[in-house]
Amino acid sequence: MKLRISHETTYRYDRPIRNLIQSLRLTPSIYEGQKVLQWQIDLPGGVRGPGFRDGAGDWIEGWTLRGPTDEVTVRIEGRIDTRDTAGVLRGHREMIHPLAYMRETQVTRADPGLRELAASVTQQGDVLNLAHALSRAVSEAITFRPGVTESRTTAAEALALGEGVCQDHTHALIAVARTRDIPARYVSGYLHSTIDGEPHDAAHAWAELHVEGLGWVGFDAANSCCPDERYVRLGSGLNASDAAPIRGIATGGGAEDLDVRVQVEEMAQ
């Protein structure tokens, strides 16, 4: 599937900032499931710094911007060719050992509720079958509902609420997977979420669980499926903050207002 992606993130400040440093994880991953046809990152007024590929195989580049300015915009325009690999991350080169993703974070720490959910899955068979069963359990336990959680909501809080968005499903699946001794990590990217050919807001997140002999396998508990040709993978981390496409520090300024617009549309073959 050939997809066209437009992603614009705008930061507005009630007082001008003096300087801005940003770390961008906004370049699609290199693996068998996707091939970049064209990709452009632009920060008007900014200066592109050095880039590097980290141990997880993600491309990260730095940008700086000198103020004073009360508005900063990061723009992405790209085209990418994707194919379905049944969720398996084939051909992705990285150096971090999977066991590093057994480490808990504040938002993925398993409380008694998450441990009970993990223990309730009695799937027989190999680790892959268990991973699918855990993803189904999270899908059934947390109903997709925008606006009821926030960026700092933990997996335990989302499970107790019984509602949340893709970030909450992903954090919960990571938590229950680690409880069952399966390394798990957070993945950020895009999703072409409809079949009508029209562009739609489509920033998305899902989990990858490590299956011995197969490698990393993606599970989207929010949509009860594994990533296919509709998905574009950007990068990964221990949680949403660690895998954030944009991270930065601004000096000066005051209150910050954030506006994000993401559109993904299928291109004519």
Indicate the burial class of 9 (C-beta count within 10 angstroms; 0-12, 13-18, 19 or more).
buried
What number is the average pLDDT over the span 259-269? 88
Phi then psi dihedrals of residue 158, to 5 deg:
-65, -40
- pLDDT for the residue 67: 87
- pLDDT for the residue 252: 83
Residue 262: is its pLDDT beyond 80? yes
Instruction: Give me the CATH number covering residue 80.
Output: 3.10.620.30
The tokens describing 211, both together, are 């299956």
**What percentage of the chain has pLDDT greater than the value 70?**
97
Structural domain containing residue 226: 2-266
Q: Which of 86, 108, 42 is nearest to 218 (CA)?
A: 86
pLDDT band at 125 (very low <50, low <70, confident <90, very high): confident
- pLDDT for the residue 135: 97
Q: Which of 39, 40, 59 is nearest to 50 (CA)?
A: 59
Phi then psi dihedrals of residue 148, to 5 deg:
-95, -15
Task: Please list the residues that pair with 153 across neighbouring strands.
Answer: none
pTM of the model: 0.94
Number of domains in the chain: 1
The tokens describing 98, both together, are 């999977």
